[in-house]
Amino acid sequence: MRIALLAHLRHPIAPPFAGGLEAYTWTLADGLAARGHAVTLFASGDSDPRFALDPVIPVHHERSHAGLEHRGDAGLKAHLDDGYAAACDRIGAGGFDVLHNNSLSRLPLEKRRLAAIPTVTSLHVPPYDALRWFVQASPAPGHRITATSRAQLDGWWPDGAPPEASVLHNGIDPAAWPYQSRGDGSAVWCARITPDKGAHHAIAAARRAGLPLTLFGPIEEPGYWATQVAPQLGGAIRYGGQLSGAALAAEVGRASVFLATPCWDEPFGLAAVEAMACGVPVAGFARGAVAEVIGEAGSLAAPGDAADLAHAIGTALRIPRPVPNARVLRHFTHAHWLDRCEALYAQARAAAAPAC
């Protein structure tokens, strides 16, 4: 198939990844290409040049419009709308078999655009006003919609999802996150360093539990880092920087417990799955999809409660390491995820085809 893959533009689609959405889109492009599909990545122009790249904007907008993502800036909105509108026009006229839309933009959801090309839209965020109406009005024969978890799907459609919408769990390549049979007694945390990821809660819980903790990830909000994270570093609490690939997998895999501390209703939680593949059980806040993702491979705590999270750490440490690894192999593999994507593309194309 000729597949157009439309990305979010805040960060480049390239390693080291700024977050889960960037990793998702890169891995999808890589996996589909490996299966023989002709993939064109519509993303910022500074994304990974290994892909056939059609730039939506010249550089990711955190570089051109730094810090304006959630501030309703009119200049940024016009910049993104112009880029997406032109990209959607190119996609519609480009002879593609299907569009996989990961953009968080309303423009690919317009009826005239959905009529132009079979589309799969993957939702990566909880419902919010700027996108909610467009998503809920978009189901159509040639349009399939996915959420990364049941919790997220229910958030978008609390009264029941339409038949065109379904859960598509994220997947990873287990070979990239090698299983390690023993941990070293430490805790690990990996995410963007921003208040909604809750690194300060992980620090407080690790201290209460008496475990060393290493934090990994990009410092996305310097003010939060300077006031709530950096002053807590030292001794058993350290920052390991932003790593990717085998280096990050090795650091995560040597830990004995992974801490998941979302301070919002996170739709999935890919970092927890990566840790689980390494054999690391999870202690996490019961928010968003955390319970759905970790299942029997971890222990839950009340959101925002560091004392309860410290208790959950103790419980998680007693979970045998084959348990989280086996859960990933059953539910969250790259191969299973790509199989589902290909099936969704086929459904969208069949439904969009004119009746004979």
Specify whether 248 is located in the same domain as 126.
no
CATH of the domain at 83: 3.40.50.2000
Specify whether 236 is located in the same domain as 254.
yes
Q: Measured between alpha carbons, how far is 203 from 309 in angstroms, rounded to an integer?
A: 11
Specify whether 48 is located in the same domain as 117.
yes
Q: What is the pLDDT of residue 355?
A: 53
Query: Can the peptide bond before residue 16 be classed as cis, meaning omega within 30 degrees of 0?
Result: yes
Q: Is 61 helix (H, G, I), strand (E, B) or coil?
A: helix
Q: Is 283 helix (H, G, I), strand (E, B) or coil?
A: strand
- Number of domains composing the chain: 2
Query: What is the radius of gyration, based on Cα positions, of the chain?
Result: 20
Residues of the chain with confidence (pLDDT) below 50: 356
How many CB atoms are closer than 10 A to CB 322? 12
- Name the residue range of residue 195's domain: 174-331
Helices and strands: H and E segment counts in the chain: 14, 13
Q: What is the pLDDT of residue 356?
A: 45
Specify whether 159 is located in the same domain as 31.
yes
Q: List C-alpha distances in Å: 113 to 10, 38, 99, 108.
A: 23, 21, 10, 6
Specify whether 180 is located in the same domain as 70.
no
Q: List C-alpha distances in Å: 126 to 76, 81, 129, 135, 147.
A: 21, 21, 10, 12, 9
Q: Measured between alpha carbons, how far is 146 from 214 in angstroms, rounded to an integer?
A: 34
* Whole-prediction pTM: 0.85
CA atoms within 13 A on the CB side of 70: 3
Q: Measured between alpha carbons, how far is 109 from 134 in angstroms, rounded to an integer?
A: 6
Specify whether 26 is located in the same domain as 158.
yes
Q: Which of 39, 22, 84 is nearest to 341 (CA)?
A: 39
Specify whether 203 is located in the same domain as 312.
yes
Over the stretch 121-145, which tens digit does the pLDDT of each residue have?
A: 999 988 988 899 999 999 999 999 9
Specify whether 73 is located in the same domain as 181.
no
Specify whether 164 is located in the same domain as 24.
yes
Specify whether 322 is located in the same domain as 341.
no
Q: Measured between alpha carbons, how far is 198 from 221 in angstroms, rounded to an integer?
A: 12
Specify whether 244 is located in the same domain as 138.
no
Specify whether 147 is located in the same domain as 226.
no
Distance from CA of residue 195 to its chain's centroid? Answer: 17
